[in-house]
Every structure is written in structure tokens, then in C-alpha cells.
Amino acid sequence: MQSAPTKKIGMGLVGPGFIASHHIDAVRRLGFAEVVALADASVELARPKADALGIRNAYGSAQELIADPDVDVVHNTTPNHLHFAVSMAAIEAGKHIVSEKPLAMDSDQCRRLRDAAKAAGVVNAVMFNYRGNPLVQHMRAMIAADEIGSPVFVKGQYLQDWLTDDHVFSWRLDPALGGKSSALADIGSHTCDLAEHVTGAKIVSVLADLGTIVKTRYTSGSAIAFSGEKGGDLREVQIAGEDVASVMLRFANGAKGIVTVGQVLPGHKNDLQLEINGRKASLGWKQESQNELWIGRYDAPNSMMAKDPSLMAASAKPYAHLPGGHQEGWPDAFFNVVSAIYGWVRAGAASPKPEVVSSFADATHVTEIVDAMLRSHDGGNVWIAVE
């Protein structure tokens, strides 16, 4: 007699925008989870998107989706200004919650979500997906094993060019929808999270210099991020948020660092780089060539390590799904983080958080870093402690 099949974990997604399909693909790749529902601003918007993605339930509000008994995990991929309300509603309903970054619009909202998730005893995660790269995990293992000595300097950059044209506009540039920070909250957050995750050291103070290169944009109000669409009838929009920034960092372990970000820099598509300089050696990783890790030495030739699970640290091997010479990419790293989150769901929220997962507590700290950067710039480019 065959046993009854185990019920799959049900995933519901709120906000089917640019990043949503990657959440859906990653969950479906797990095998033990099922995408059961999708919600948009109206059922008329949600239904065709759900049909196109093969999702059976379509809802016209987050509240309806959260109330669906088949939804165990809510993925919040809405614009930033909706993050707090959707995530809090999921927590109050006892649902596990996965949010896109930033966790919320400011540090206070983040702390409230962090505390509510802890009190409710639900799995809570924010998609800082670059943690999931195999060689990022190998870097982390090398540093933890003291293979490069104590980290003394950290250099991070995240450069893009998708906002170079002043006829490109996104909700991310509207403070009411995206928040008071633009480039720092959007991509600087990734850089800071990655630096802390790899080094194991927290950023404790910052000195920031922010700039807005494109101060006026022209939009029809319909353009979509990264689409190249410029819209029809145009209106002027004055831009307040930063599109470039340079920030000096101090870490809790005494290391110094610098982060540079920009989204109006021609030729840079998704140029995330992280370099860690230790007392014995240096490590450098570039997202656009993510299957390679540069290892720098002062007393021996520099080398380039290719991703190969047979040569990687034991803790990093599970993040590489293919043998050496077989390239892995952005969706694979994204999947690695989603896989860890759902492994946590299966084990129970009271079980230890997987290290590759950024919890609401971790993401709150990142927002506190960004808020400190804004205060540093507004205060005349002065050192500000991270709260």
C-alpha cells in the first residue's frame, strides 16, 4: 500500500513585477514546494499573469492571498512602499515571509517587522541573493579559516548604467514609492550585505558623499525598470535621490573600507565587485564573471581560481551544482538562497537560520547602514555611527 504523498509547501507571491518570475522559477526548482497563488492590484491584472505563469489562484489584493489556506510562504515582491504592510500582514497571519530588499522604507519600520517576525515565530528572509554564489561562499570559508589573514581593507562597488538616459524613469526614483535613498538602498545595500557576510565583520560607522547627476527626468509614468522603454507623452520629474555615492567604512574588527555605487555610469551593466585585502593575501570577486575568484599574494604569483566543487571548501561545495568547467549564473545563486530559506521552513522556524540567508534582523542592520549614510551626507560628510 502506497503512503499518501507529502503535501508540498505552498508559495504565494504578491507583486508580479521584474523580479517575481525569478522567485517563481526558484521555488519550482525545489521540487517540494508549489506556487499556488499570485496577487496584484486587481484580479483583472492578476489573472492573466497567473495564467501565463501556470498559477491556479489569482487575487486582487495581498490580504486575499495571505488568507488562502494553501499559502504557507508569502513572497513580497511589491514596490518598496508596500513592503511593510504586506510583510506585517503575512506575519500577523502566521505565514512565513520572504521579502525583496529593502525590508521596509526606513529603519523604524524594519525594526517593527524584525520584532514582529521573531514574536510570531515565522521564517523571515530578505533576498540578498548574491550570498548564494559558490565562490562568494568559498571566499567566506577562506577568511573564516584565516587563509588570507585578518581582513584590513574592504573595497566594494556596484555600478550600473540603466538610468544614464534622462528619459528613463522608475518608481524607484520617487521617494514616496522607493524611499528617501535611491542607489544606496537599491544596490549599495547588496554591497554592504555582501561585505559583512564574507568578512564576518559588521560595519559600525560610515562617511558618505552622495550625488545626483541626472536631476531632471522625463517620463510618461509608464516606463518599466531595465526595459529601455521611454514612454509617450512626457512630463518633467525632479529627482531628489542619489544616483552616485562614495562611502568610507569602518568595521567592528578594525578593518577599513570603501563602497562606490552608481546607476548612471555608461558601460556598467551589473558591475558588482568585492575585494578583501588581508594581512597574508587578497581575494577579489566580480559578479559579471562570477565563476572566477582572484587570489592576490605579495610573496607568490597571483592566481585565478575557477569554480570547481572538487577544489572548493566543504561549506561552499553545496552551492555549486555543476562540475568544474560548467558555468553557473545569477539564477543559480538566487536559487541557492531560496533553497536555504525553504530548507529552514521544512526544519521549522525555531531551527537555526542558514548562514546564507539574510533574516529580517540582518536586513534591518543593512537599512540602518543606509540610513547612517544619508545622515552622514546631510550632516556635511561626517562620520556617523550605525545605530
Structural domain includes residue 174: yes
Both 119 and 139 in a single domain? no
Q: Quick check: 214 pLDDT over 70?
A: yes
- Rounded to an integer, what distance in angstroms lies between the CA atom of residue 221 and that of residue 130? 31
Higher pLDDT, 230 or 95: 95
Same domain, 226 and 313: yes
Of 81, 101, 129, the domain-final residue:
129
Q: What is the pLDDT of residue 233?
A: 72
Of 112, 129, 146, the one marking the end of a domain is: 129
Instruction: Produce one character per residue of 315-348: b if its CB has 16 or more CB atoms within 10 Å, e if not.
Output: ebbebbeeeeeeebebebbbbbbbbbbbbbbeee
191 within a domain of the structure (yes/no)? yes
Q: Of 201, 199, 173, which Cα lies nearest the Cα of 186?
A: 173
**330: in domain:** no
Q: Quick check: is 281 in a domain? A: yes
The reply to whether the predicted model has a pTM over 0.85 is yes
- Residue 6: band (very low, low, confident or very high) from pLDDT cuts 50, 70, 90: confident
Mark whether 95 and 229 lie in a shared domain.
Answer: no
Q: Is the pLDDT of residue 92 over 70?
A: yes
Structure confidence at residue 225 as a pLDDT band (50, 70, 90): low
Alpha-carbon distances, residue 116 vs 13, 109, 363 (angstroms): 20, 11, 14
| Distances in whole angstroms, Cα of residue 279 to Cα of each of 141, 150, 248 | 16, 6, 20
Q: Which of 111, 129, 147 is the last residue of a domain?
A: 129
- Cα 20 to Cα 155, 198, 329: the distances in Å are 30, 27, 18
Instruction: Quote the pLDDT of residue 238.
Output: 96
Instruction: State whether 55 and 145 are in the same domain.
Output: no
Tens-place pLDDT, residues 111-126: 999 999 999 999 999 9
The 3-class SS string of 92-121 reads HCCCEEEECCCCCCCHHHHHHHHHHHHHHC
Q: How many structural domains does the chain have?
A: 2
Task: Note whether 124 and 137 are same-domain residues.
Answer: no
In the prediction, which pLDDT does 51 show?
98
Are 139 and 69 found together in one domain? no
- Owning domain of residue 296: 133-325+361-385
Mean pLDDT value of segment 284-301: 98
Q: Do 45 and 191 reside in the same domain of the chain?
A: no
Angle of helix 189-199 relative to helix 360-378, nearest 10 degrees, comes to 120
Q: How confident is the model at residue 1 (pLDDT cuts 50, 70, 90)?
A: very low
pLDDT, tens only, 335-367: 999 999 999 999 999 999 999 999 999 999 999
- Classify 46 in phi/psi space as left (phi over 0), alpha (psi -120 to 50) or beta: alpha
Find the CATH number of the domain harbouring 122. 3.40.50.720
Looking at the structure, tell me whether residues 124 and 158 fall in a common domain.
Answer: no
User: What Cα–Cα distance (Å) separates residue 287 from each residue in 158, 225, 263, 348, 357?
Assistant: 9, 20, 16, 32, 18
Q: Is there a single domain that holds both residue 169 and residue 97?
A: no
Same domain, 151 and 25: no
Q: Is residue 339 part of a domain?
A: no
pLDDT score recorded for residue 232: 61
**Alpha carbon separation from 15 to 39, 94, 189 (Å, rounded):** 6, 20, 21
For the stretch 27-58, pLDDT in tens is 999 999 999 999 999 999 999 999 999 999 99
154-204: per-residue pLDDT in tens? 999 999 999 999 999 999 999 999 999 999 999 999 999 999 999 999 999
C-alpha 198, offset from chain centre: 15
Mean pLDDT of the chain: 96
Percent of the chain surpassing pLDDT 70: 96
What percent of the chain clears pLDDT 90, i.e. is strictly above it? 94
At 220 the pLDDT is 81
Residue 72 counted as domain residue: yes
In order of 18, 51, 123, the CA distances from 164 in angstroms are 19, 35, 38
Q: Identify whether residues 259 and 199 lie together within a single domain.
A: yes
Residue 371 shares a structural domain with residue 277: yes
